[in-house]
Amino acid sequence: MERFAPVSEQYDPDEVEESTFEYWAETDAYERTRKHRRDGEDFFFVDGPPYTSGAAHMGTTWNKTLKDAYIRYKRMQGYNVTDRPGYDMHGLPIETKVESKLGFENKKDIEEYGMEAFIDACQEFADEQLEGLQEDFKSFGVWMDWDSPYKTASTEYMEAVWWGFQQAHERGLVERGKRSITQCPRCETAIAKNEVEYHQVEDPSIYVNFPLAEREGSLVAWTTTPWTVPANTFIAVDEDVTYAAVEATKDGETEVLYVAEGVVEDVLKKGRYQEYDVLETLPGAELLGWTYDHPLADEVAEYPDFEGSGEVYHADYVEVDRTGLVHSAPGHGQEDFERGDELGLDVYCPVGSDGVYDSRAGDYAGQFVRDANDDIIADLDANGYLLASETYTHDYGQCWRCDTDIIFLATDQWFITVTDVKDELLDNIDDSHWYPHEAREDRFKNFVEESPDWNVSRQRYWGTPIPIWLPEDWDGDMDEAVIVGTREELAERADQAVDPADIDLHRPTVDDITITEDGTTYERVPDVFDVWIDSSVASWGTLDYPGNSEAFDRLWPADLIMEAHDQTRGWFWSQLGMGTAALGEVPYSDVLMHGYANMPDGRGMSKSKNITVEPGEVIEEYGADPMRLFLLSRNPQGEDMRFSWDETENMQRDLNILWNVFRFPLPYMRMDEFDPEAVELADCELEAVDEWLLSRLQTTVEEMTAAWDSYRQDEALDVLLEFLVEDVSRFYIQVVRERMWAEADSDSKTAAYATFHHVLTKTVTLFAPFAPLVAEQIYGTLTGESGHPTVHMEDWPEFDEAWYEPQLEADIETVRAVEEAGANARQQAGRKLRWPATRVVVAADADGVADSVDRQRALLRERLNAREIELVEATEDWDELAYGARADMSVLGPAFGGDAGEVMDALNSVTVARKDLDALEAAVAEELGREVELTPEMVEFVTETPEGIEGTEFRVAGESGGVVYVDTELTDDIEAEGYAREIIRRVQEARKDLDLDIDAEIHLDIAVADDRIADLVVEYHDLVAEETRATLADVDEGFHEAYDIEGVEVTLGVTRAN
RNA sequence: GGGCCAAUAGCUCAGCCAGGUAUGAGCGCUCGGCUGAUAACCGGGAGGCCCUCGGUUCAAAUCCGAGUUGGCCCA
């Protein structure tokens, strides 16, 4: 880019985006930046892979923006950053999308269509989505290695999964087992707990009598799943609860029922018994071991009838609710399963993976379980075991993909038994640093402590095949199983010819491979891994390990990962588990856990409910950089974000200020052919404000760096924007304007140019990680050929002690406070800034303030347009002042106890003529109606503006600074200058209206209607001429305009000279 | 139902950990000013049951308890 080239008058995000993207492409900016840091210290960042279905939403956008910003920051600090993006491409969500695209209803349709073709369709779908996501991420300036993302569906990556699994196996952490799992009968697979969504459904609610075998009466249990009754194995009671034997009468017949004492009346009412009699009460412990007959023994010939079945046991999950006895079927319910496991009971489950009863279910065989509910209820009724039947609306789990009601089944699944290494997991957690720290201590540790073994198997197609080969009559001994870890290993052990360089590890290719060793042939189990397993190995999968070990040896474990808080139990956890199971270590060092992106009103975003703010819309409305700035201005540590259109607009305005600030000096620098390379800042004759701005830059750099390094880029941005808006725009530019405008070359002007150029270049460098697009444009315009090809190759600015002047910063802070108060006082006096004040009196409250004012008198005079600055030291009083007092409650509270508030009010309301404690006590006593004893520590005296003088208090660094008084007395000279400045302003306006270049010379004709004023103005003709680049002359043609200035008519004529 | 987090001006948020008058900040609103950055910039003003209820304390936005609403996670 050409240095100091003219730029558009306004910040236009669209234009900036377009030209920057073009520039990046032309110059290979990304590749060059990476190359530039090739020899830097390694920084291993790992991208948490987004799932490849759908476009980037605001949450993903926030996440990627944060990642991009931190990667850029780290690069600027010299690191060689790993920035490979990742995509999570396997799993049921994509399968169901493809199924619905192809019009499939269930697994059989897939088998008919052909597994290979179906998997190809899934691959194609995932690839398409991946491309869309990449384009989304690029659209807001993210720089990652888009040309070679890691894909969980790639052969290299699946191998990384296999390897990790094999490592876990070698540590003895893989086993097959029956578990009660949540099954989607449509998808015919187990689904993870977090994939279960809860909806309100209406289910049967039945009370079933289980007839006691060895004594009279029945046990009454309640259930909402009649279809689990065939699998009833035992009845659970609470041994510490009291139960009642009740003789109940209905329609002349009596029977004995056992229920918890506390619910007798409720149950009997449900059963519509007319009378009842409590025969006896007994503790639950006495019921233990009682036996009963299966209520569907006739219908289900092969009902659970084995050692220990049909008995009463204690269980912790029993509550005195409904009946106080719980129908338990370990083949279905999860708690039932666990208790049955403890009791050593067999697991009986007469239901297939599609939710259809098998032959063991007798009369119900072939029926879908939920469809059998009515028959079962009818049969129970016919058998005389139905006490009551009604319906019940409750939350019930459904498959997140297809909304089918889930069922609980005990089936054979593969597990990684992370519970065996729980202590190691908890130890390893301490090796990671979490931001915010509490998330690790509270949320994560709680979760890990309570987490069960991992069911890693899914009975599906589009996933990494589980690399387990089993002999035909396998007995469950893992030593007899073959677990393959790499392609090479597979090629070596397979019976078939396998080319490791070429093989696709997906089903069905691997399904056909067998292994024969020592005369035994092994076949692969048909399952695939749960998709969560894929991403759990990202820390080595992203490095193509084990296929390639160089990067792994050098980089692993990850230096940094960052995701939202839902990943606590997701990716943060799965990586810890897999890292520990496979390598005995936590695979990441730093974790930045951010929040969720919510709607402006605080609701969660939801694509399906059409409650979203789309990143594309925001970019279109306000631009990519403003959106990024907004996202990066939010606290990234745990807290949810509310998206705000208004705040995004504000960011655009702030960038417009950046644009204006940078644009301001360009015409002058161009005109004077300023060459930043030829001027050494240290050799310039810097003025105080220049030194001040350079010092402020150091402070800004230091504060920003500290914020970045503690993962608070939002605070860094605050500091930067404040520096830009407050220091550069609102102060430095205002002060430096006259120096820039001066016609003649001067050391002062050069110093201003050099300062400005240096500060702007550094400032835009500091902006680079936040707003990479506009930063690039500005940087290019400031540096031209002399800088790096891209701002993103710049080093992160370092704090430079040599330019740091804290005293000067404090001085200017005081100057600005005084200036602001002075402007206020002027306004009260109705005196414009253009009219000089004869004097300004600063009555300081503190020595430091007085010293600062004293040192900066010249600057203050200029800023306040005052002829004189008078200073009243802190130790002095100004005769005409009155004083008030302010209470210090930290002293007053303990001293006065309950009366403190009252004393405070009195103190605050009185005034005295002197800063005198006795006088104050007297005044307070008067106000309060009684004497109080005050100490100097209790009060702070404050100046108050006396009548007749225009004064305004000011504060410095949160402390009272003093009062600024403006004397607005008019003299001839002041009037003369006032009018002259009014004229200058109007001439400047005319110059602009006439579209004159800033260095164009003019002829100026001034006619003042009032003779006295006309004479006064003549005194300032030189000033007017200089400021407007004018020669005073008669102007007959061209611009003529009459103005009313303070009631005096002034006519100006302006024309271009020559 | 359980765990974690949040609630302060119209909006977005500081302040809370280490209790002491909310001079709260920016934006917005409004009135005024400035004027070769000008769709920029500066000053004044209005605007608060600090989510609710209890407790601790001389004193609570801040600490504690219960609740409400929202977010995430787990049932």
Tell me whether residue A43 is in a domain.
yes
| Residue A660 approaches strand B within 7 Å at CB | yes
Measure A36 CA to B12 C1' (Å).
39
> Does position A388 have pLDDT exceeding 70, yes or no?
yes
Residue where a domain terminates, one of A772, A793, A814: A793
CA distance A967 to A821: 13
Stated in angstroms, how far is A904 CA from B70 C1'?
Answer: 39
Contact A962, A851 (CB under 8 A): no
Please indicate, yes or no, if residue A320 is contained in any of the structural domains.
Answer: yes
Short-list A158, A835, A829, CA closest to A531? A158
Contact A624, A618 (CB under 8 A): no
Chain-centroid distance of CA A584 in Å reads 30
Q: Which of the listed ranges A101-115, A381-395, A569-583 does the model predict with the highest average pLDDT?
A: A569-583
Which pLDDT score, from 0 to 100, does residue A943 have?
A: 61
Q: What percent of chain A has pLDDT over 70?
A: 98
- Whether A642 sits with its Cβ under 7 A from any strand B atom: the answer reads yes
Q: How far is the CA of A842 from the C1' of B28 (A)?
A: 34
Helices (H), A794-865: 806-829, 847-855, 857-864
Give the distance between the most distant pair of CA atoms in chain A.
128
The span from the CA of A328 to the CA of A102, in Å, is 41
pLDDT at residue A467, as a whole number: 96
CB-strand contact A600/B, under 7 Å:
yes
SS3 of A926, please? Answer: helix
The answer to whether the C-beta of A828 is closer than 7 A to strand B is no
In the 836-895 stretch of chain A, whose C-beta falls under 7 Å of nucleic acid strand B? Answer: 886-890, 892-894
pLDDT in the model for residue A407 = 87
Q: For the stretch A100-132, what's the b/e string if a residue is b when 16 or more beta carbons lie within 10 angstroms of its beta carbon?
A: eeeebeebeebeeeeeeebbebbbebbeebbee
Q: Which amino acid is at A953?
A: E
In sequence order, what are the beta bridge partners of A395?
Answer: A200
Interface predicted TM-score of the whole assembly (ipTM), two decimals:
0.84
Q: What pLDDT is stored for residue A947 in this prediction?
A: 55
List Cβ neighbours of A565 (8 Å cut-off, separation of 6 or more).
A439, A443, A593, A594, A595, A596, A638
Spatial distance from the CA of A958 to the C1' of B17 (Å):
22
Same domain, A658 and A782: yes
Query: Which of A742, A767, A793 marks a domain boundary?
Result: A793
- Measured from the Cβ of residue A194, the count of other Cβ atoms closer than 10 Å reads 11
The answer to whether A640 CB sits below 7 Å from nucleic acid chain B is yes
Most confidently predicted of A73-77, A109-113, A335-339, A703-707: A73-77
Q: How far apart are CA A799 and CA A467, in angstroms?
A: 54
Integer Cα distance of A337 and A332 in angstroms: 7
Distance A569 CA to B49 C1' (A): 40
Q: Are A440 and A429 in contact (CB under 8 A)?
A: yes
Mean pLDDT of A88-117: 89
Map residue A462 onto helix, strand or coil: coil
* pLDDT for position A161: 96
Is residue A555 located within the same domain as residue A662?
A: no
User: Are A582 and A652 members of one domain?
Assistant: no
Cβ of A830 near strand B (distance < 7 A) = no
Q: What is the pLDDT of residue A880?
A: 64
Distance A322 CA to B50 C1' (A): 46
As a rounded value in angstroms, the CA-to-C1' distance for A714 and B17 is 20
- The domain spanning residue A89 has which CATH number? 3.40.50.620
Confidence of residue A914 (pLDDT cuts 50, 70, 90): confident
Mean pLDDT for the stretch of residues A455-471: 93
A712 CB contact with strand B at below 7 Å: no
**CA A312 to CA A318: how far, in whole Å?**
12
Which run of H or E residues covers position A100? helix A92-102
Q: Is the pLDDT of residue A12 over 70?
A: yes
Query: Residue A210's pLDDT band (boundaries 50, 70, 90)?
Result: very high
Helix, strand, coil share (%) of chain A residues, nearest 5: 45, 20, 35
Residue A499: exposed, middle, or buried by beta-carbon count in 10 A (0-12, 13-18, 19+)?
exposed
Residues 6+ apart with CB under 8 A from A1031: A1001, A1002, A1003, A1004, A1025, A1057
pLDDT value at residue A797? 95
Provide mean pLDDT across the span A298-304: 88
The DSSP annotation for A232-272 comes to: --EEEE-TTSEEEEEEEEETTEEEEEEEEGGGHHHHHHHTT
A483 contact partners, CB below 8 Å, separation of at least 6: A165, A166, A169, A174, A467, A468, A469
Of chain A, the end-to-end C-alpha distance in Å amounts to: 35
A999, amino acid identity: D
Residues 1013-1042 of A with CB under 7 A from strand B: 1028-1029
Question: Which nucleotide does the CA of A450 lie closest to, via C1'?
Answer: B74
Q: Are residues A402 and A426 in the same domain?
A: no
How many angstroms separate the CA of A11 from the C1' of B11? 24
- Whether the predicted pLDDT of A780 surpasses 70: yes
A774, two tokens: 């506009």
Q: How far is the CA of A5 from the C1' of B33 (A)?
A: 34
Higher pLDDT, A901 or A282: A282
Predicted local confidence at residue A944, as pLDDT? 59
User: Is the predicted pLDDT of residue A665 greater than 80, yes or no?
Assistant: yes
Q: Which amino acid is at A687?
A: E
In order, the DSSP letters of A964-1015 are EEEE----HHHHHHHHHHHHHHHHHHHHHHTT--TT--EEEEEEESSHHHHH
- What pLDDT, on the 0 to 100 scale, is given for residue A782? 92
**Quick check: is A819 in a domain?**
no
Nucleic strand B under 7 Å from the C-beta of A644: yes
**In this model, does residue A440 exceed pLDDT 90?**
no
Q: Is the CB of A1003 under 7 A from strand B?
A: no
Please count the other Cβ atoms lying within 10 Å of the Cβ belonging to residue A467: 25
Mind listing the pLDDT tens digit for each residue in A781-808? 999 888 899 999 999 999 999 999 989 9
Q: In terms of pLDDT, which residue wins out, A881 or A650?
A: A650
For chain A, the domain total comes to 5
Residue A302 reports pLDDT greater than 60: yes
For residue A231, CA distances in Å to A8, A214, A308, A309, A358 come to: 77, 21, 14, 10, 12
Helix (H) or strand (E) holding A1042: strand A1039-1045
The pLDDT tens digits of the residues spanning A731-741 come to 888 888 888 87
Any domain includes A444: yes
Q: Is residue A392 part of a domain?
A: yes
Q: Does the CB of A252 sit below 7 A from strand B?
A: no
Least confident span in A484-498, A551-565, A847-861: A847-861
Nearest nucleic acid nucleotide to A443, CA to C1' distance: B4
Same domain for A264 and A115: no
Q: Is the C-beta of residue A981 closer than 7 Å to nucleic acid chain B?
A: yes
The set of strand B positions with any atom below 7 Å of a protein CB reads 3-6, 10-14, 20-21, 23, 26-28, 32-44, 58-59, 70-75
Query: Cα(A322)–Cα(A494) distance, rounded to whole angstroms?
Result: 58
Q: Read off the pLDDT of each residue in A158-168 and give the average, rounded to a whole number.
A: 96
Q: Which of residues 82-101 of A touch strand B (CB under 7 A)?
A: none
The DSSP secondary structure of A281-331, one letter per residue, reads EEEHHHHTT-BB--TTTTT-TT-S-STT-SEEEE-TT--SSTTS-EEE-TT
Confirm if A1043 and A986 have CB atoms less than 8 A apart. Answer: yes
Question: Do A798 and A701 form a contact (C-beta atoms < 8 A)?
Answer: yes
State the nearest residue by CA to the C1' of B32: A827
- Domain check: are A88 and A108 in the same one? yes
Protein-to-nucleotide distance from the CA of A442 to the C1' of B2, whole angstroms: 14
User: What is the distance in angstroms measured between the alpha-carbon CA of A710 and the sugar C1' of B57?
Assistant: 36
In a domain, A478, yes or no: no
Q: Is the pLDDT of residue A29 over 90?
A: yes
CA A555 / C1′ B17 distance in Å: 37
Looking at residue A942, what is its pLDDT? Answer: 67
- Within-domain flag for A616: no
Measured CA A438 to C1' B5 distance, in angstroms: 10
Paired residues of A562 in beta bridges? A592
Is the pLDDT at A124 greater than 90? The verdict is yes
Integer Cα distance of A1012 and A253 in angstroms: 124
Asked if residue A203 lies in contact with residue A210, where contact means CB atoms within 8 angstroms, the answer is no
State the DSSP string of A688-757.
HHHHHHHHHHHHHHHHHHHHHHTT-HHHHHHHHHHIIIIIIIIIIHHHHHHHHH-SS--HHHHHHHHHHH
| Contact indicator for A121, A83 with CB cutoff of 8 Å | no
A988 Cβ within 7 A of any nucleic strand B atom: yes
Please check whether residues A903 and A980 belong to one and the same domain.
no
A141 Cβ contacts chain B strand, under 7 Å:
no
Amino acid A804 CA to nucleotide B35 C1' distance, rounded Å: 33
Domain holding A1021, by residue range, is: 972-1056
Strand B–CB A827 distance below 7 A? yes
Across A484-574, the runs of DSSP E, i.e. the strands, are: 514-517, 520-524, 528-529, 558-564
| A729 & A749 share domain | yes
Residue A197: its pLDDT value, please?
Answer: 75
A607 labelled binding-site residue: yes
Nearest nucleotide (C1') to the CA of residue A441? B4
Q: Which two tokens stand for residue A899?
A: 């009366």
pLDDT digits (tens, 9 = 90+) for A247-265: 988 888 888 999 988 888 8
CA–C1' span, A65 to B41, in Å? 31
What are the residues whose beta carbons fall under 8 Å from the beta carbon of A667, sequence distance 6 or more?
A6, A998
pLDDT at A72: 97
Please give the pLDDT value at position A913.
75
Cβ contact A1046 with chain B strand, < 7 A: no
pLDDT of residue A626: 92
- Of A75-89, A761-775, A918-932, minimum mean pLDDT range: A918-932
Average pLDDT, chain A: 88
Question: Phi and psi dihedrals of A52, rounded to 5?
Answer: -85, 60
Comparing every residue's Cα with the C1' atom of nucleotide B57, the nearest one is: A897
Please determine, for residue A771, whether its predicted confidence score (pLDDT) is greater than 80.
Answer: yes
User: How far is C-alpha A582 from the geometric centre of its chain's CA atoms?
Assistant: 30
Closest nucleotide to A197, Cα to C1' = B75
Nucleotide nearest to A892 (CA to C1'): B20
Does one domain contain both A722 and A656? Answer: yes
Residue A132 counted as domain residue: yes
- The angle at the Cα of A217, spanning A214 to A221, to the nearest 5 degrees, equals 105
Q: In angstroms, how far is B13 C1' from A837 CA? A: 40
Specify the nucleotide whose C1' lies closest to residue A900 (CA): B58
Residues 6+ apart with CB under 8 A from A427: none
Query: Letter for the amino acid at A966?
Result: V
Does pLDDT of A193 surpass 70? Answer: no
In this predicted model, what pLDDT tens digit does every residue of A938-964 receive, in sequence order?
Answer: 777 766 555 556 777 787 766 778 888
Distance between CA atoms of residues A363 and A229, nearest Å: 13
CATH number reported for the structural domain that contains residue A213 in this entry: 3.90.740.10
* Alpha carbons A595 and A354: distance in angstroms, whole number: 38
Work out the angle at residue A894's Cα, subtended by the Cα atoms of residues A891 and A896, and round it to the nearest 5 degrees: 95
Stated in angstroms, how far is A769 CA from B16 C1'?
31
Average pLDDT over residues A449-460: 87
Residues A160 and A221 in one domain: no
- Supply A425's token pair: 């997991």
Strand B atom within 7 Å of A734 CB: yes
Strand B closer than 7 Å to the CB of A438?
Answer: yes
Q: What is the C-alpha separation between A1024 and A1016, in angstroms, rounded?
A: 13
Question: Using the CB atom, is residue A829 less than 7 Å from strand B?
Answer: no
CB-strand contact A743/B, under 7 Å: no
Co-location of A363 and A233 in the same domain: yes
pLDDT value, residue A861: 86
> Is A491 in contact with A498 (CB distance < 8 Å)?
yes
What's the CATH code of the domain at A693? 1.10.730.10
**Cα dihedral angle (A354, A360, A365, A368), rounded to 10 degrees?**
-30
- Report CA-CA distances (Å) from A855 to A409, A848, A877, A977: 83, 11, 21, 26
Closest nucleotide (C1' vs CA) to A741 is B36
Instruction: Check if residue A1000 sits with its Cβ under 7 angstroms from strand B.
Output: yes
Q: Nearest residue to nucleotide B58 when comparing alpha carbons to its C1'?
A: A897
Contact A681, A754 (CB under 8 A): yes
| Strand B contact at CB of residue A653, distance < 7 A | yes
A554 and A657 belong to one structural domain: no
Strand B contacts in A 904-923 (CB under 7 A):
904, 908
The three-state DSSP-derived secondary structure of A667-707 is HHHHHCCCCHHHCCHHHCCCCHHHHHHHHHHHHHHHHHHHH
Residue A1006: is its pLDDT beyond 90? no
Distance (Å) from CA A49 to C1' B72? 19
* Amino acid A251: pLDDT: 83
Q: Please check whether strand B approaches the CB of A603 to within 7 Å.
A: yes
The confidence score (pLDDT) of residue A619 equals 92
Pick from A736, A758, A793: which residue ends a domain?
Answer: A793
A544 vs A1053 pLDDT, higher one: A544
